[in-house]
Structures are given as structure tokens and as C-alpha cells.
């Protein structure tokens, strides 16, 4: 039976301190746990806080052929508008963008594709962990697309943390759960024909 390889390119953008790198690693770890392939590339400025923080993740059901820095993207996760201008040209009519409505300026929106806006910072603050806002947005992405399973995503909350941050796993899991609860599967990442047998 012929199997067409499918790759899902996801861009993450924000500023340092918003958890962009943790969110991207969490999603990549979940993809691997689901038996998919993942390739992750990160880019960030020299400042600890406030500088650019970007990540490029490719998730596939077979060997990955796209480079991790991609020309077009299937989805984008936008935590802050300051460095988002480079993301918009990479989106297509079929792309999905998740926006942190708590922070991203109202006039900063992509000109194409579907947009889901989540009050990620407000939700994370309500959980007592504003630094977990990016995980709320990742949960929303998974809820909307099924790019990874909810179980793999939730289990990855602890696996991606170094031992000295292990106490953050519980609240990070709650942030992922809160994000999952904000969306329904409206933009499936994989059709039945695209799931490897």
C-alpha cells in the first residue's frame, strides 16, 4: 500500500522568558512518544528576557525531508507580536495560527489562514503560573489539530524538565490541560489516510 509522507511544520515566536523553547521541546517530545519523527531548531537573542525567541519544529510520520528552518508553515504559535513579522509570510491559506491574545497587539494578525486566539497568559496566571502561558497555547494547538495525542503531550510535561525543575511538572501539566480544554479538533493534522499503518 502506497503511503504519502506527511510533514507538519510549526513555527513558534515570542520573547525570551515566555517559555517558547520549553513549549517547542514539549511538543517535539510528545511527537516522538507518539511514534512520529521530530526535528527541532531553536533561535534566540542574547538577552535573558525580552529578546527574540523562536523555534522551528517539523513533525512527520516518516523520515523528515524538510529542513527545520522552513519556507512555509502548517501552523504557528505566536506568544508575542514583537518578532512575529517574520512568521506571517510563511503562512498559507491552509495554515493555522494560535495567538496569545493576552499579549499580542490587536493589530498584529496574519493576513492568511485560520486564527485561534487564546487568552493564554490570563489562563496561566489563573493557575498561579504565568510563565506556563506558552504551554496553554501548545495545549490549544494539540486540541485543535491532534498533531500529537493528548496523553503524549501531558506525559511530556515532566520528561522535558531538568531534575532541578521537577517541581514545575505538575503546574505545567495543568497548563497543558487548560489549553487542551479551550479548543476542539477543527484542523486535523493527520487524515486517516496519512496515519502510518
Query: According to the model, what pLDDT value does residue 196 have?
Result: 44
DSSP state string for 128-195: T-GGGHHHHHHHHHHHHH-SS-HHHHHHHHHHTS-GGGGGGHHHHHHHHHHHHTT--S-S-S--GGGS
Let me know if residue 1 belongs to a domain: no
What residues of the chain score a pLDDT lower than 50? 1-2, 193-197
pTM higher than the cut 0.85:
yes
Let me know if residue 32 belongs to a domain: yes
Query: According to the model, what pLDDT value does residue 69 have?
Result: 75
36 bridge partner residues:
none
Let me know if residue 149 belongs to a domain: yes
- 16 conformational bin, left if phi > 0, alpha if psi -120 to 50, beta if neither: beta
Let me know if residue 126 belongs to a domain: yes
Query: According to the model, what pLDDT value does residue 52 have?
Result: 86
Let me know if residue 194 belongs to a domain: no
Helix (H, G, I), strand (E, B) or coil at 72: coil
**10, 145 contact by CB (below 8 A):** no
Structural domain count, the chain: 1
Query: According to the model, what pLDDT value does residue 48 have?
Result: 58
Let me know if residue 192 belongs to a domain: no
The CATH number of the domain where 24 resides is what? 3.40.920.10
Let me know if residue 144 belongs to a domain: yes
Let me know if residue 14 belongs to a domain: yes
- Interval 124-152: pLDDT, tens: 999 999 999 999 999 999 999 999 999 99
Host domain of residue 139: 7-185
Amino acid at each position: 500500500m502506497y503511503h504519502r509522507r506527511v510533514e507538519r511544520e510549526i513555527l513558534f515566536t515570542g520573547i525570551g522568558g515566555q517559555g517558547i523553547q520549553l513549549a517547542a521541546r514539549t511538543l517535539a517530545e510528545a511527537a516522538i512518544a507518539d511514534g512520529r519523527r521530530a526535528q527541532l531548531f531553536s533561535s534566540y537573542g542574547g538577552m535573558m528576557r525580552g529578546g527574540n525567541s523562536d523555534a522551528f519544529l517539523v513533525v512527520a510520520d516518516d523520515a523528515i525531508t524538510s529542513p527545520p528552518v522552513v519556507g512555509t508553515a502548517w501552523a504557528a504559535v505566536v506568544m508575542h507580536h514583537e518578532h512575529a513579522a517574520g512568521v506571517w509570510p510563511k503562512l498559507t491559506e491552509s495554515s493555522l495560527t494560535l495567538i496569545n491574545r493576552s499579549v499580542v497587539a490587536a493589530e498584529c494578525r496574519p493576513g492568511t489562514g485560520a486564527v485561534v486566539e487564546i487568552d493564554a497568559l490570563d489562563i496561566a496566571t489563573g493557575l498561579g503560573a504565568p510563565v506556563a502561558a506558552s504551554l496553554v497555547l501548545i495545549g490549544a494547538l494539540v486540541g485543535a489539530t491532534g498533531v500529537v495525542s493528548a496523553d503524549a503531550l501531558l506525559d511530556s510535561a515532566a520528561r522535558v524538565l531538568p531534575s532541578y525543575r521537577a517541581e514545575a511538572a505538575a503546574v505545567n501539566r495543568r497548563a497543558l490541560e487548560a489549553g487542551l480544554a479551550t479548543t476542539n479538533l477543527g484542523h486535523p493534522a493527520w487524515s486517516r489516510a496519512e496515519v502510518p499503518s
